A and B are shown apart, each in its own frame.
Chain A
Amino acid sequence: GAVVSQHPSWVICKSGTSVKIECRSLDFQATTMFWYRQFPKQSLMLMATSNEGSKATYEQGVEKDKFLINHASLTLSTLTVTSAHPEDSSFYICSASDDRGYYGYTFGSGTRLTVV
């Protein structure tokens, strides 16, 4: 079956630094990847949709300059949280889809970001 790998699983960083999270599709070509954010005891909120080779589409209210998304290859997308602050602490999770949308329901294991 389709596997999506997300790394790191957890990270602690100092306020003001940047953190990069990777999302990889291991056994299929991910034309599209989705990035979600989950606050404690809340649901997953879609942050952005990235298509390989083009700019990401951000959901309303998500800061593009804050959350940089790169999808330069068919197997890798990265989310960089720039100049992180404690309020950025959250659980970030990605999912990947091929061009048929067949794997669109396969999620990575998530990244717990804590900004101190």
Chain B
Amino acid sequence: AQSVTQLDSQVPVFEEAPVELRCNYSSSVSVYLFWYVQYPNQGLQLLLKYLSGSTLVESINGFEAEFNKSQTSFHLRKPSVHISDTAEYFCAVSESTGGFKTIFGAGTRLFVKA
């Protein structure tokens, strides 16, 4: 079975600073990897995903994540954050065979300060 570990429960950062939210996974088979963002009292929004191909994936709002198979990681980065990026970020993994259920990490609270 797959599992996901988000190493930081909270990440405070100043506006316009870079940020990295860490995510490691484990699985015995190949996986799909995702980052979701959740704003207060809202549902999940898909931020970006890795299914196959290029290991570097980007979102439309400046986030990027790199799939590193050897380190079993899928860290999320942004070179310059905004106040509006304050939210909960979830890393998730879905096995690419047999069921496709998605398992979520515990979440990382990104808090951007002015």
- Nearest first, the 6 A-B pairs at minimum CB distance are A101-B100, A104-B100, A110-B43, A109-B43, A44-B104, A43-B106
How many residue pairs at the A-B interface have CB separations less than 8 Å?
54
How would you classify the secondary structure of chain A's contact residues: helix, strand, loop or mixed? strand
Q: Does A89 contact B (CB under 8 A)?
A: no
Contacting A at CB under 8 A, from B65-114, are 90, 92, 94, 96, 99-107
Contact surface of A with B, Cβ cutoff 8 Å: 6, 32, 34, 36, 42-46, 49, 93, 95, 97, 101, 104-110, 112
Contact surface of B with A, Cβ cutoff 8 Å: 32, 34, 36, 41-44, 46, 49, 90, 92, 94, 96, 99-107
Bound CA span A109–B43, Å = 5
**Is there an interface contact between A105 and B49, defined as CB atoms closer than 8 Å?**
yes
**Is there an interface contact between A43 and B107, defined as CB atoms closer than 8 Å?**
yes
User: Contacts A32-B99, A105-B46, A108-B43 hold; do A43 and B104 have CB atoms under 8 A apart?
Assistant: yes
**Is there an interface contact between A112 and B41, defined as CB atoms closer than 8 Å?**
yes
User: Contacts A105-B32, A105-B34 hold; do A49 and B99 have CB atoms under 8 A apart?
Assistant: yes
Q: Which residues of A contact B96 (CB under 8 A)?
A: 101
Bound CA span A36–B107, Å = 15
